[in-house]
Amino acid sequence: MLLEIENLSQKYGDFVALNSISFQVEEGVYGILGPNGAGKSTFMNLLTDNVLRTSGSISLDGKDILSMGEAYRDTLGYMPQQQGYYEDFSVTEFLKYIGSLKGIAKKELNNIISELLTRLNLEDVRNKKMKKLSGGMRQRVLFAQALLNNPRILVLDEPTVGLDPKERVNMRNMIKEISQDKIIFVSTHIVSDIENIADKIILLKKGEIVAFDRPDNLISRLPIEYEKNLESVYILNFETCD
Amino acid sequence: MFGMEFRRIFNRKTVIMLLLLIALNVTVFLWMYKTGKYESQVSDETYSQHVESILKQGDTINAISIFNKGGQSEYAERNNQKTIDKYASIGEIETVKINGNIIITVIKNRFTHLTICVFMVIFLFRVFQGEEYKSMQTMLYATRNGRKRLAIARWGLSCVSLMVFIILNYAVIFGCVYVIDGYKCSDLLAPIQSVVEFYDCAMKTSIIGYIFFYIAATFLFSFSILIVMWLCMYFSDNRILSMSLMISLMAVEYLMYQVIAEQSKIVFLKYINLFNLVMPGDFLYKYSNYELFNYPVNKLTTEIVLSTALILALSTIIFAIAENKRPIKKSSRLENWFGNVTNIVVGSFHGIIGNCKMFGLEIYKLLIVNRGLVYLVVVAVISCMMLDTSQIKHMGIGALLENVYNTYGGPISEEFVEYYNEQIENLNAVDEQYELALEKYDKGIITEEEFDREQFVYEGYAGARSCVDRLTEQYSYLNRLKSERNIEGYLLSDRGYRILFQSDHSGKDLLVAVVICLLFCNGYAYDKRMRVKELIYSTRDGRNKIHRTRILVMTLLCGIAFALVYGLEFYEIQCVCPMRWWSAPVQSLPFFEGCRVNISLGFLVFLFEVSRFVMMVTLGILVYVLSYSRSSKEALIIPLAGAAIYIKIKAIANPAITITMSAIIIVFTVLGWIYVVRNRKLESKIR
C-alpha cells in the first residue's frame, strides 16, 4: 500500500496552512509533530477529505482519493482532536451508529464492538451514556470507533489527550500492534507518545515539512549540547515558534 | 443505518415531547370544538341548485363578455369557461343528508398545521444536534456512508416520521369527533359535497376519500417546507443564522401573500408562495383560479405542483451538497459578520444579566436557562389563536333585549317601567286584534286572505313577545328581590357574567396548570441536578432569602401566565358581550339569587380572578416544594395530576366544596413551603 502526497497546498483566504508538501508513505506509524498553526490538523483533514484542497494531490496506490470517494473512506479510520459524540447514545449505541455508517454488517459489528471494548477496558461502561463518561473514557471510545472497520489508513489527531499514564501506554502499545498492515498517522503534542512507536517523524512548521525521517536519525543529527531524545529535536526545530 | 438514525433522533425525551405536542393539539381542538366553531352550517340551497346557479351565472357572464373581447377580459372569459366546464363535469353528484362536523374539523383546525411546523423544527434540530461541532461532522464525513447515504437515510426518515406524525394527529382528532358525535360509518362514504362547506369543492370523492386526500396534501406541503428548512440548515453551521434565514424567507413569503391583491398582475406570487404550504387556505376545498399571464390557473394544482417540484429539486440539491460539502471550510463573510453581531448581542445580554441581582438572576434561570420563555410563548400563541373579539351581532329577540339593556339598564327606573307597560299594552292590543280577527273569520265575516294578513301581523310580534316575557321574568325577579330581601337589583344583560361564572373553563385551567408545572418543576431540582445545591446553601442568602426571592419570581411569572390566559379571556368577554354595571349587587343575576353576602358584581369578578391567581401561585409553590425533595420529573407529574383532579372536581362540585378544597390545598402548600425554608435536616445532610 502506497500513499503519495504531491505538492499538497491548502489556503484559507490569504493564510497558507500547507505549502506544497510532498512525500510518500507505506505501512507503518508516522508521527506528525509541530507547534500550533503548523498545519497538522489541516493535513489530517485533507487526508480524511474533510476539507477541499487548494492544490496538489493525495493518491492511494496510484488513485486520487477524491475520485475513489466511498472506496477510499472504506479504508479510513479517523479520530478527531476534539471530542465529538452524540450525548444521548450509550457507548455501544454510539459504536453501532458509527459502525453502520461504515457499512459493517450487524452481526460482525457486534463482535468487533465487544472485542474493542474489552481491549480498551470499556466493558464496564458499555451501556453508559456518552455524556456521562469521563474525558479519558470518551477518548477511548473515539479511538474504538476509528478501529471499527479495521482501517488500512488510520488518522489519529491527539489520541492520548486526557488519558492516564496507564491508558496512554495501553493505547501506544495497541497502535504499535495494529500497525503491521496499516498506515497510521499520529498527530500529537506529547512527543514521548510517538518516540517509541513511530517509524518516521514528520516535522511541520508553518505549513512546510522541515524534516521527514526515522526518529533515531533525527536524534543522531542533534548538536552535541542537546539531550539525545525526540523532545530535543522538537525544541531545536520549534524553539522560536508558539 | 435507518434504524440507528431513528434511534438517535427519536430518543425518549423527543418522543415524550412529540406526544405532548399531539396532546396539546387535541386539547386545543376539543376546546374549539366545544365552542361550536367547527359545526357544519345548514343551507336552504341544495347542491344541485348551487351548481345550477353557478352554471347560470357563468352563462350570464359569457353573454356579457361577448361585447368586451380582448385585454383584461380575456382572463375573465377563460376563467369563466374553465369554471363552467369544471362544474358541468361534477354537477350530477347525488348528495345525502349527513352530519358534516367530522370533515369541518379538518379544514377549520389550523392549529394542527402549526403543530406540524413545530414537529418539523424539533425534527431538524434533532437531526443536526451534536453536529454543530466540527469534530462530530468530520468523524461522520470520514466514514463510507457518512455523506450522501446518510443524507438519503435521513431524508427517508423525515418522510416517514412526518407522515406518521400527521396521521397520528388527524387520527386522534377524528377519533375524538367520532366519539363525541357518534358517526355512522356510512356517512364517511357520502359524497364530499353533502357538506355545505364543500359545495364549491370540485372533486368527485367521498368524505373518507377527501380525508385521505387532505392528509396526503398536508404531508406533501409540509414535507416541501421541511426540505426548504433542511436546505437552510445546510446554509450555515450556525443554527441561529440558519433559522434566521428560514424566518426571513417565510417573512418575505408571508408579506407577498398578504399584500398582493387578487387583481394584481403579480398575483401568481401570492400562490406560488411557501406560506400557502405552511397554512393551506380554502383552495383545498373550494375550486378557484388565479391569473397567470392571462390564463386561469387552479390554485390547488399550483400548490401541488409547487410542493412536488420543491421536494424533487431541493432533495437533489441536498444530496449533492451532502456528498460534496466539507465540514472544514473558511467561514463566509456573512457568517463572520453574523458571528461578530451575535458576539456583541450575546456579550451585551450577559453584561445585563451580570448586573442583575438575585431576583433578576432567578428570572433568567427559569425563563432562559430552563426554557420557561418558550412555554410562555407557546401559551401566548395558543391564547391568541383562541381569541375571538368580534362582537356578537344580536338578531331577533337578542337584539331587542340588548337595546332595552342599553337604554334602560341599571336600577329599575320609572322610564323602564313606563316602557315596559307600554310594551305590554301594545302586545295586548295586538292580541285583542288577533282574537277579534279569529272570531270574525270563524263567523265568516272576513276572508281567509284577510285573516292571513292579521295572523302575519300577530306572528310578527313573536320576537317582541319573547322579549317582553324575558323582561317580565327579570322585572318580577328584581321586584321579589326588593320586597323579600330589600336588595335593589339592576336590570342588566347576564351573558358576559354567565360566560365568566358558569361556563366550563377546564381547558384553560389545565393549560395554566401545565405551564406552571413546566415553568417551576426545575426550580429546585435544577440546583440538585447541576450539583450546586450545596454551593447555594453555603452562601449567606442561600437558605432563606433565596426561597423568598423565588416565590416573588413565581408570583411574577404566574402573573404573566394569568394575563396571557385569563386576562385575554376577560378581554374577549368584554369585546364579545360586555359585562356592565359593576356596582350592581351580585343578586341582580338570577343564578346568584342564593348568595348571602352583599357585594357588588365588580367585587365578585375581582374576587373570582384573584382566587384564580392565588390558586396559580399555590400550584407554583407546590411544584417548587416538590422539586425540593423529588426529581424535576416527579415535580412536574405529581402536581399536574393533582391539578387535573382539582379542575375536574371544581367543574362538577358546588362552590362551597371548591372553596373548602382550595383552602386546604393553600394551607398545606404554605406549610410545605415553611418546611422547605425552615428545614434544618438538609443542612445536616450537607454537612
Residue A241 sits in the same domain as residue A189: yes
Question: Do the domain assignments include residue A167?
Answer: yes
Tell me if chain B has a CB within 8 Å of the CB of A43.
no
Residue B544 sits in the same domain as residue B430: no
Tell me if chain B has a CB within 8 Å of the CB of A14.
no
Give me the residue from B4, B137, B329 closest to A97, CB to CB: B4
Question: Do the domain assignments include residue B235?
Answer: yes
Q: Are A86 and B129 a contacting pair at CB < 8 A? A: yes
Last residue of a domain, one of B491, B521, B552: B491
Residue B273 sits in the same domain as residue B254: yes
pLDDT digits (tens, 9 = 90+) for B495-530: 888 888 888 788 888 889 989 988 888 777 777 777
pLDDT at A7: 92
**Shortest Cα distance, chain B CAs vs residue A15, angstroms:** 10
pLDDT at B541: 78
Question: Do the domain assignments include residue B374?
Answer: no
Give A 115-144 residues with CB within 8 A of chain B: 142
**Shortest Cα distance, chain A CAs vs residue B531, angstroms:** 14
Tell me if chain A has a CB within 8 Å of the CB of B4.
yes
CA-nearest of A48, A39, A40, A50 to A15 is A39
Residue A70 sits in the same domain as residue A158: yes
Calculated CA dihedral for residues B297, B301, B302, B304, nearest 10 degrees: 180
Residue A143 sits in the same domain as residue A159: no
pLDDT at B606: 93
Residues of chain B contacting A80 with CB distance shorter than 8 Å: 134-135, 138-139
Q: Can you list the alpha helix ranges (DSSP code H) found in chain A?
A: 40-47, 65-68, 70-73, 91-101, 106-119, 135-147, 165-178, 191-195, 215-220, 230-238
Last residue of a domain, one of A94, A123, A150: A150
Residue B466 sits in the same domain as residue B528: no
Residue A143 sits in the same domain as residue A117: yes
- pLDDT band at residue B616 under the 50/70/90 scheme: very high
Burial class of residue B405 in the structure, from the number of CB atoms within 10 Å of its CB (0-12 exposed, 13-18 middle, 19+ buried): buried
CA-nearest of B642, B658, B661 to B650 is B658
Q: Which of A39-48, A215-224, B31-40, B125-134 has the lowest mean pLDDT?
A: B31-40
pLDDT digits (tens, 9 = 90+) for B353-406: 888 888 888 888 888 888 889 889 988 888 887 777 666 555 566 777 888 888
Cβ atoms of residues A56 and A39 within 8 Å = no
Q: Are A84 and B13 a contacting pair at CB < 8 A? A: no
Tell me if chain A has a CB within 8 Å of the CB of B301.
no
pLDDT at B683: 44
C-alpha to C-alpha distance for B130 and B125, rounded to whole angstroms: 9
Residue B250 sits in the same domain as residue B312: yes
| Average pLDDT score over residue span B564-591 | 87
Q: For an interface test with B, give the residue of A72, A100, A110 to mutate (most B CBs within 10 A).
A: A100
Question: Do the domain assignments include residue B337?
Answer: yes
Backbone angles phi, psi at A19, to 5 degrees: -120, 95
Residue A43 sits in the same domain as residue A87: no
C-alpha to C-alpha distance for B220 and B105, rounded to whole angstroms: 20
Q: Are A80 and B135 a contacting pair at CB < 8 A? A: yes
Is pLDDT at B682 greater than 50 in this prediction?
no
Residue of A nearest to B322 (CA): A50
CB atoms closer than 10 angstroms to residue B78: 15
Give B 70-129 residues with CB within 8 A of chain A: 129
A–B interface: beta-carbon pairs under 8 A: 97
Residue A92 sits in the same domain as residue A170: no
Is pLDDT at B185 greater than 80 in this prediction?
no
Number of domains in chain A: 2
Q: Are A52 and B137 a contacting pair at CB < 8 A? A: no
Q: Can you list the alpha helix ranges (DSSP code H) found in B326-461?
A: 333-355, 358-364, 372-386, 396-408, 414-443, 448-460
Residue B444 sits in the same domain as residue B514: no
Residue B512 sits in the same domain as residue B659: yes
**Shortest Cα distance, chain A CAs vs residue B210, angstroms:** 41
C-alpha to C-alpha distance for B18 and B155, rounded to whole angstroms: 19
The cell for B637 is 407529574
Question: Do the domain assignments include residue A6?
Answer: no
Residue B467 sits in the same domain as residue B605: no
Mean pLDDT comparison of A123-127, A222-226, B328-332, highest-scoring range = A123-127
- pLDDT band at residue B77 under the 50/70/90 scheme: confident
| Average pLDDT score over residue span B134-139 | 84
Mean pLDDT over the full length of chain B: 83
Residue A231 sits in the same domain as residue A161: yes
Per-position b or e across B621-640, b if 16+ CB within 10 A of its CB: bbbbbbbbbbebeebbebbb
Q: Which of B67-76, B102-111, B162-171, B358-367 has the lowest mean pLDDT?
A: B67-76
Give B 374-433 residues with CB within 8 A of chain A: none
Q: Is B294 left (phi over 0), alpha (psi -120 to 50) or beta?
A: left
Residue A159 sits in the same domain as residue A196: yes
Residue A65 sits in the same domain as residue A103: no
Mean pLDDT comparison of A42-56, B196-210, B393-407, highest-scoring range = A42-56
Last residue of a domain, one of A121, A150, A179: A150
Q: Are A73 and B144 a contacting pair at CB < 8 A? A: yes
Share of chain B above pLDDT 70, in %: 92
Question: Do the domain assignments include residue B309?
Answer: yes
Question: Do the domain assignments include residue A1?
Answer: no
Residue A173 sits in the same domain as residue A70: yes
**Shortest Cα distance, chain A CAs vs residue B546, angstroms:** 30
Residue B568 sits in the same domain as residue B665: yes
C-alpha to C-alpha distance for B136 and B154, rounded to whole angstroms: 16
Backbone angles phi, psi at B594, to 5 degrees: -75, -5
Last residue of a domain, one of B491, B515, B546: B491
Question: Do the domain assignments include residue A229?
Answer: yes
- pLDDT band at residue B78 under the 50/70/90 scheme: confident
**Cell 285573516 sits on residue:** B451
Is pLDDT at B37 greater than 80 in this prediction?
no
| Average pLDDT score over residue span B554-565 | 92
Residues of chain B contacting A51 with CB distance shorter than 8 Å: 326-329
Backbone angles phi, psi at A85, to 5 degrees: -165, 165
pLDDT at B88: 77
- pLDDT band at residue B87 under the 50/70/90 scheme: confident
Tell me if chain A has a CB within 8 Å of the CB of B531.
no
Is pLDDT at B36 greater than 90 in this prediction?
no
Q: Are A84 and B137 a contacting pair at CB < 8 A? A: yes
Give me the residue from A84, A102, A149 closest to B135, CB to CB: A84
Going B310 to B316 to B319 to B322, the CA torsion angle's sign is: negative
- pLDDT band at residue B262 under the 50/70/90 scheme: confident
Question: Do the domain assignments include residue B60?
Answer: no
Question: Do the domain assignments include residue B682?
Answer: yes
Last residue of a domain, one of B342, B357, B383: B342
pLDDT digits (tens, 9 = 90+) for B416-458: 888 888 888 888 888 888 888 888 888 888 888 888 888 888 8
Residue B590 sits in the same domain as residue B619: yes
Residue B540 sits in the same domain as residue B400: no
pLDDT at A242: 47
CA-nearest of B116, B201, B213, B117 to B165 is B116
Question: Do the domain assignments include residue A134?
Answer: yes
Cβ atoms of residues A212 and A201 within 8 Å = yes
Q: Are B144 and A50 a contacting pair at CB < 8 A? A: no
Q: Which residues neighbour B526 within 8 Å (Cβ) at sequence distance 6 or greater?
A: B365, B369, B370, B632
Q: Cα angle vertex A101, ends A105, A149, to 5°?
A: 60
Which residues on adjacent β-strands are paired with residue A79?
Answer: A156
Q: Are A76 and B142 a contacting pair at CB < 8 A? A: yes
Give me the residue from A84, A149, A155 closest to B133, CB to CB: A84
The cell for B523 is 426550580
Question: Do the domain assignments include residue B540?
Answer: yes
Question: Do the domain assignments include residue A8?
Answer: no
Give B 127-156 residues with CB within 8 A of chain A: 129-130, 133-146, 150
C-alpha to C-alpha distance for A110 and A114, rounded to whole angstroms: 6
Q: Are A82 and B140 a contacting pair at CB < 8 A? A: no
Question: Do the domain assignments include residue B383?
Answer: no
Residue B476 sits in the same domain as residue B509: no
CA-nearest of B110, B109, B226 to B163 is B226
Residue A48 sits in the same domain as residue A137: no
Residue B543 sits in the same domain as residue B614: yes
Angle at which helix B655-678 crosses helix B632-652, to 10 degrees, equals: 160
pLDDT at B35: 67
Number of domains in chain B: 3
Q: Which residue has the higher pLDDT, B343 or A96?
A: A96
Share of chain B above pLDDT 90, in %: 15
| Helix or strand run (H / E) with residue B243 | helix B239-259
Residue range of the domain that includes B433: 396-491
Residue range of the domain that includes A106: 83-150
pLDDT at B685: 47
Is pLDDT at B67 greater than 50 in this prediction?
no
Last residue of a domain, one of A150, A180, A200: A150
Residue A142 sits in the same domain as residue A222: no
Per-position b or e across B1-15, b if 16+ CB within 10 A of its CB: beebbeebbebeebe
Q: Are A52 and B133 a contacting pair at CB < 8 A? A: no
- pLDDT band at residue B330 under the 50/70/90 scheme: confident
The CATH number for A49's domain is: 3.40.50.300
Tell me if chain B has a CB within 8 Å of the CB of A13.
yes
Tell me if chain B has a CB within 8 Å of the CB of A76.
yes
Q: For an interface test with A, give the residue of B13, B328, B336, B531 to mutate (most A CBs within 10 A).
A: B328
pLDDT at B686: 42
Tell me if chain B has a CB within 8 Å of the CB of A226.
no
